[in-house]
Amino acid sequence: MAESGADTTDLYALLGVDKSADSNDIKKAYRKLALKHHPDKVPEDQREESEHMFKLVTQAYEILRDDDKREMYDRHGMAAFDPSRGGGMGEGGDINDILEQMFGGMGVGGMGGMGGMGGMGGPGGPRRPRRGPDEESKYSVSLEDLYKGKTVKFAANKSVVCGTCKGTGGKEKAKSQTCDRCKGNGMVEILRQMGPGFVARDTAPCDRCQGSGNHYKEKDRCKKCKGKRTVQETKSLEIYIPRGAYQGERIVLEGEADQHPDQTPGNLVFVLVEEPHEIFNRVGSDLSADLEITLAEALCGFSRVVLTHLDGRGIQISHPRGKVLHPGQVLKVAGEGMPMKRGEDKGDLYLVVKVDFPENGWLQDDAAYESLAKLLPGPPLEIKTDEEEEVDEVEYDDDADIDEMGANSGDPRYGEGWEDEDGEGGAQAQCAQQ
């Protein structure tokens, strides 16, 4: 297990304990660090660094928890475990065994993606992983359910260890034969395509013996599982989606993945996918929605229910006369966003004002227009031009699209705007032409 250049590693400092620490102190320190640095518990961009630290603290714990290895380390340092110097840790401990002892059924997570940490090695060739793989799938959920929380019950079809043969694949008292393909190891070497022109050696369960290392003649196979060691079963399960859960959040059912003989079942993982909502948009714990009002309400104020919230409540807004609301103006309603996952607090609700202007011809006679004009603010001051300059009265299109400005002109500012040297869009400064 020794890492290159690890001769100067201070295992006690790595775990944050004194050299006089007893086994309980070492165990507590490792438990804390293992949870902190476990790759399944950190964001994706921190996973590589976390994985490295996880390996180091696990190595330190494996040595210091064993009295003999600890004595060797105290005398010779990490050189005692360097195979090139005649040392080494022999068969070594399986990290999954360590985690099992440390965390039991707490669901710390599997070691997927952390090859070389105990899934292989030791006399007798490759060893099967001690924990089965996790099974991950996406689960679409409405914004209403994310707001209120929801319990979902469903029937899952899964593989379970055959109860008749207890996962052996053979009849009672039948004798198995060593698999001639994997030589009884249960695992075989395969070549896995890792990328264009790059192939790596890997291990996989033997497909002839299903990873057991032995097989039975057809007449000796279990009648229920036909020698496959597992059978299909339907099981009722349920998941709880907590209030305020996020897009991409993982709901884990520990140990509910397919069962494999000689392995602890992996987890069934559901990744939440937030469905688009026709009224609300969500960012973090905040919500936004359009506040649609009439021109009269924008000018004269109003007091009414403006929308129905995600839990069915009406949200009433009272806006006073004398304070004009403008199109695009934003009102913030504190505490009416999504609930926080912890506590009773909520985010905020942002309402974007959309003014519904009257249709053409909504007033029928000149007197009505004149009366309205007297009520509204007058026009701006007339723009005066030189007496010698002409004034042209022009025609116009009242349904134009501003996005068409500059079309077919060849000007780089049309459409995506200026491009920088890296080819990314965005407005850039331009030297003035002389």
Task: Check residue 203 and give its pLDDT.
Answer: 80
What is the DSSP annotation of 112-178? TT-TTSSSS-STTS----SBPPPEEEEEEE-HHHHHH-EEEEEEEEEEEE-TTTTTS-B-TTPPPEE
The residue type of 294 is T
Which residue has tokens 């100067």?
A: 8
The span from the CA of 369 to the CA of 362, in Å, is 10
Q: What is the tens place of the pLDDT at every residue in 395-426?
A: 888 788 888 888 888 888 887 655 454 544 44
CA angle 298, 299, 302 (to 5 degrees): 60
Coil, strand or helix at 319: strand
Q: What is the tens place of the pLDDT at every residue in 127-141?
A: 445 788 889 999 999
Which residue has tokens 């979902």?
A: 152
- The predicted model gives 358-377 an average pLDDT of 86
Task: Check residue 194 and give its pLDDT.
Answer: 64
Q: Is 244 exposed, middle or buried (0-12, 13-18, 19+ CB in 10 A)?
A: buried
Task: Check residue 407 and give its pLDDT.
Answer: 85
The span from the CA of 294 to the CA of 297, in Å, is 5
Task: Check residue 103 and give its pLDDT.
Answer: 47
Task: Check residue 82 and give its pLDDT.
Answer: 61
Distance from chain centroid for Cα 17: 34
The residue type of 22 is D
Q: Is the pLDDT of residue 272 over 90?
A: yes
Task: Check residue 209 and give its pLDDT.
Answer: 78
Beta-carbon contacts of residue 10 (< 8 Å; ≥ 6 apart): none
The span from the CA of 253 to the CA of 301, in Å, is 52
Q: Is the pLDDT of residue 385 over 90?
A: no
- The predicted model gives 28-57 an average pLDDT of 79
What is the DSSP annotation of 13-81? HHHT--TT--HHHHHHHHHHHHHHH-GGGS-GGGHHHHHHHHHHHHHHHHHHTSHHHHHHHHHHGGGGG
Confidence band (pLDDT; 50, 70, 90) for 344?
A: confident
pLDDT averaged over every residue in the chain: 80
Q: Which residues of 91-103 are buried (b: 16+ CB within 10 A; e: fewer)?
A: eebbbbebbeebe
Q: Is the pLDDT of residue 314 over 60?
A: yes
Beta bridge partners of 351: 289, 331
61 in Cβ contact with 101 (< 8 Å): no
> Which of 164, 162, 165, 167 has the alpha carbon at shortest distance from 186?
167
* Torsion angle (degrees, nearest 10) of CA 180, 183, 187, 189: -90
Tell me phi and psi for residue 383, to 5 degrees. Answer: -80, 120
Element (H, E) at 101: helix 95-103
Tell me phi and psi for residue 157, to 5 degrees. Answer: -90, 120
Q: What is the tens place of the pLDDT at every residue in 159-199?
A: 999 999 888 888 888 888 888 888 888 788 887 776 666 66
Least confident of 45-54, 102-111, 328-337: 102-111
Higher pLDDT residue, 301 or 125? 301
Share of the chain above pLDDT 90, in %: 32
Q: Is the pLDDT of residue 31 over 80?
A: yes
354 in Cβ contact with 326 (< 8 Å): no
Confidence band (pLDDT; 50, 70, 90) for 308?
A: very high
